[in-house]
A and B are shown apart, each in its own frame.
Chain A
Amino acid sequence: MNEMQFLTWVRGDGLDYAVGIFLLGVIWRLIEIYSLGRKKDISASRSVAGASGWHTIFRRSLPPEGMVKKSPVSYIGGYTFHIGLFIVVFLFAPHIMLFQSLFGLSWPALPSQFIDLAAVVTMAAMVVVLVDRINKPVKRYLSTFGDWFTWTVTFLPVLTGWMAVQHLLLPYTTMLALHILSVEILLVVLPFTKLFHAFTLFGSRWYNGTVNGHKGVAV
């Protein structure tokens, strides 16, 4: 298989398999999680201002008071790489072309130099949070294989995409194919790892907010 056949495979059959497994996994896990159900709470609801599912969804996007100072790497690094990933994934012209061909929707792109900067900042932030996770004994103790693994499969698409654009290490065709392959690996593992938080994040926040809101506690 030469590099052009490799690229055509990842754009063709590879993408087909990856999207298939991704959809299968996402639908499976969403149905499984939401069908678990919870016991009905028959106590009288206590109404407190600011205590509801929707409040919690919003509130947990902001750091609690004093926490940014206490744990700056987690908050600033976390925000930076999540926003960076959003910019790189959704606002780069070739990526928008892919979404358009899959869903029929398109939106304006940012200049590629800006995307380049966002990719570098994203990778730097990811490396900083990784180093922090290794250096801080508590974080290291709490980390499992799943954490190191998901960091790697998230980092690789950014790294290979940036290296392809910058023409580093390998010829562009091969690096582009590796980039697409790394995204396909990410798609395949996403439903079955901690990365599934991309889908469950708001649902679980809403649930916590609602349960505690019922008890009259704003979380």
Chain B
Amino acid sequence: MKGPLIETLARHGVTRRTFVKYCATLASMMALPPAAGRAMAEAMAAAPAASKRPSVIWLPFQECTGCTESITRSHSPTLEGLIFDVISLDYQETLMAAAGHQAEEALHAAMAANDGKYLLIVDGSIPLGLDGAYSCIAGKSNLETLKEVAKGAAAIVAMGSCAAYGGLPKANPNPTGAVSVADIIKDKPIINIPGCPPIPAVITGVLAHYLTFGSLPELDKHSRPKAFYGETIHDRCYRRPFYDQGKFAKTFDDEGARKGWCLFELGCKGPVTYNACATVKWNGGVSWPVESGHGCLGCSEPDFWDAGGFYKALSMPADPLKLAAKAAVVGAAAGVAVSFVNRGKKSAAKSAHEKTTLADLEK
């Protein structure tokens, strides 16, 4: 197995064997058959020289750069980071050296050279309020830019919960009128990789799949790759046995918390959150939120910001009950009113009662 990627990896001290193992791991994470690992390795290794690498354009809209941080910092310089050598990341404001007009030129040059073939990655939501004036780049609203760049894209990857669902900017009361990529673009294949931020291995997994098979992986109803978002955090959680035994941490520093018991009562949204954190973990497999003692926030689910509070257990009311006291008063009033009606009927029946005499019976 030879190719530009293998040479690059070798320069970084990564052996061919390690690379093949990595591809096998990636394939198994995506629930692909073992042979797919080999196919992935071959496809990526055979990726053509620098000038012909698949072009990727990364557009940042209403975002916090957390998604970029997640991809770059947490895994660089490991294999996931190096997978980026297989693609040509032609426009990424945070990572690129160019700025201002140069950056814009790079964007338009990449679009023109790879028309209909480039992969578009979007992070951040798109504001529609005030004609999109809440977020502009190079004098254009995000809405304009997205429509323009999406036109020539082969497929779009919505990175992070903001691009996938609207995310934090869309949270109630959504002051900027934020929407997701899929709310605007209807005629292109879109793959959502939600998370706040998403797991780096998921984006490299999707890229590897795209490069190997030339298509997007199987998606669920939220357009998320099933391989990574197929199961809930709760079902894959190493603390699950404690849930089943009824052993719960009641506060963040009680005995249960120290013993690593289930965080359900502290508001963990693991049962309704589809993501791979419990298996893939974060920071190269070091840990993940639940392992570090905090419940899952549900960040890969739509509208997780407005799902009733991070520290309320799922079985608890999302909001305080407002109607109960009023309803009790109305109920009591209705009961008393009906009682009077019943008493009225009773006394009416009583006063209408006629005594029957023997004479009546003999008539």
Residues on A lying within 8 angstroms of B by beta carbon are 2, 4-5, 7-8, 11-13, 15-17, 19-21, 23-32, 35-36, 93-95, 97-98, 101-102, 108-113, 167, 171-173, 176
Instruction: Name which of A7, A17, A27, A102 has the most chain B CB atoms within 10 A of its CB.
Output: A27
Per the bound structure, the CA–CA distance linking A5 and B308 in Å amounts to 10
> Does B351 count as interface, using CB distance less than 8 angstroms?
no
CB pair B303–A94 under 8 Å, yes or no, is no
Distance from A100 Cβ to chain B, minimum over Cβ atoms (Å): 8
Distance from A9 Cβ to chain B, minimum over Cβ atoms (Å): 8
CB pair B313–A15 under 8 Å, yes or no, is no
CB pair A112–B319 under 8 Å, yes or no, is no
Per the bound structure, the CA–CA distance linking A124 and B304 in Å amounts to 37
Instruction: Name which of A24, A25, A29, A176 has the most chain B CB atoms within 10 A of its CB.
Output: A24
CB pair A95–B315 under 8 Å, yes or no, is yes
Per the bound structure, the CA–CA distance linking A75 and B314 in Å amounts to 36
CB-CB < 8 A to A13: which residues of B? 319
Per the bound structure, the CA–CA distance linking A55 and B69 in Å amounts to 73
Instruction: Name which of B301, B326, B331, B334 has the most chain A CB atoms within 10 A of its CB.
Output: B331
CB pair B328–A173 under 8 Å, yes or no, is no
CB pair A35–B308 under 8 Å, yes or no, is no
Known A-B contacts A28-B332, A28-B334; the reply to A17 vs B323 at CB < 8 A is: yes
Residues on B lying within 8 angstroms of A by beta carbon are 222, 232, 235, 243-246, 248, 264-265, 271-272, 274, 298, 301-304, 306-308, 312-319, 321-324, 326-328, 330-332, 334-336, 338-339, 342-343
CB-CB < 8 A to A27: which residues of B? 328, 331-332, 335
CB-CB < 8 A to B245: which residues of A? 111-112
CB-CB < 8 A to A36: which residues of B? 339, 342
Per the bound structure, the CA–CA distance linking A86 and B245 in Å amounts to 19
Known A-B contacts A93-B248, A94-B264, A108-B246; the reply to A4 vs B328 at CB < 8 A is: no
Distance from A45 Cβ to chain B, minimum over Cβ atoms (Å): 25
CB-CB < 8 A to B332: which residues of A? 27-28, 31
Known A-B contacts A4-B301, A111-B246; the reply to A94 vs B315 at CB < 8 A is: yes
CB-CB < 8 A to B243: which residues of A? 93, 112
The one of B246, B248, B303 in contact with A5, judged by C-beta atoms closer than 8 angstroms, is: B303
CB pair A35–B342 under 8 Å, yes or no, is yes
Instruction: Name which of B312, B315, B323 has the most chain A CB atoms within 10 A of its CB.
Output: B315
CB-CB < 8 A to B339: which residues of A? 31-32, 35-36
CB pair A7–B307 under 8 Å, yes or no, is yes
Known A-B contacts A5-B303, A13-B319, A35-B342; the reply to A23 vs B327 at CB < 8 A is: yes
The closest CB in chain B to the CB of A177 belongs to B272
The closest CB in chain A to the CB of B248 belongs to A93
The one of A7, A26, A173 in contact with B331, judged by C-beta atoms closer than 8 angstroms, is: A26
Q: List the 3 closest A-B pairs by CB distance, nearest first.
A: A31-B335, A20-B323, A27-B331
Distance from B237 Cβ to chain A, minimum over Cβ atoms (Å): 13
CB pair B338–A32 under 8 Å, yes or no, is yes
Per the bound structure, the CA–CA distance linking A21 and B301 in Å amounts to 31
CB-CB < 8 A to A95: which residues of B? 315
CB pair B331–A109 under 8 Å, yes or no, is no
The one of B248, B265, B302, B343 in contact with A2, judged by C-beta atoms closer than 8 angstroms, is: B302
CB-CB < 8 A to A2: which residues of B? 222, 302-303
Contacts A24-B328, A101-B316 given; 11 further ones with Cβ under 8 A? A15-B321, A16-B317, A16-B319, A23-B324, A28-B334, A29-B335, A35-B336, A94-B313, A111-B245, A111-B246, A176-B272
CB pair A23–B244 under 8 Å, yes or no, is no
Per the bound structure, the CA–CA distance linking A102 and B319 in Å amounts to 11
CB pair A93–B303 under 8 Å, yes or no, is no
Per the bound structure, the CA–CA distance linking A28 and B332 in Å amounts to 5
CB pair A28–B335 under 8 Å, yes or no, is yes
Instruction: Name which of A26, A28, A102, A113 has the most chain B CB atoms within 10 A of its CB.
Output: A28
CB-CB < 8 A to B274: which residues of A? 171
CB-CB < 8 A to A35: which residues of B? 335-336, 339, 342-343
CB-CB < 8 A to B330: which residues of A? 24
The closest CB in chain A to the CB of B323 belongs to A20
The one of B264, B317, B327, B331 in contact with A11, judged by C-beta atoms closer than 8 angstroms, is: B317
Distance from A172 Cβ to chain B, minimum over Cβ atoms (Å): 6
Per the bound structure, the CA–CA distance linking A25 and B313 in Å amounts to 28
CB-CB < 8 A to A7: which residues of B? 272, 307
The closest CB in chain A to the CB of B326 belongs to A20
The closest CB in chain A to the CB of B330 belongs to A24
CB pair A28–B338 under 8 Å, yes or no, is yes
The one of B313, B317, B335, B342 in contact with A102, judged by C-beta atoms closer than 8 angstroms, is: B317
Known A-B contacts A7-B272, A27-B328, A173-B272; the reply to A109 vs B317 at CB < 8 A is: no
Distance from B255 Cβ to chain A, minimum over Cβ atoms (Å): 15
The one of B248, B302, B317, B327 in contact with A101, judged by C-beta atoms closer than 8 angstroms, is: B317
CB pair A19–B323 under 8 Å, yes or no, is yes
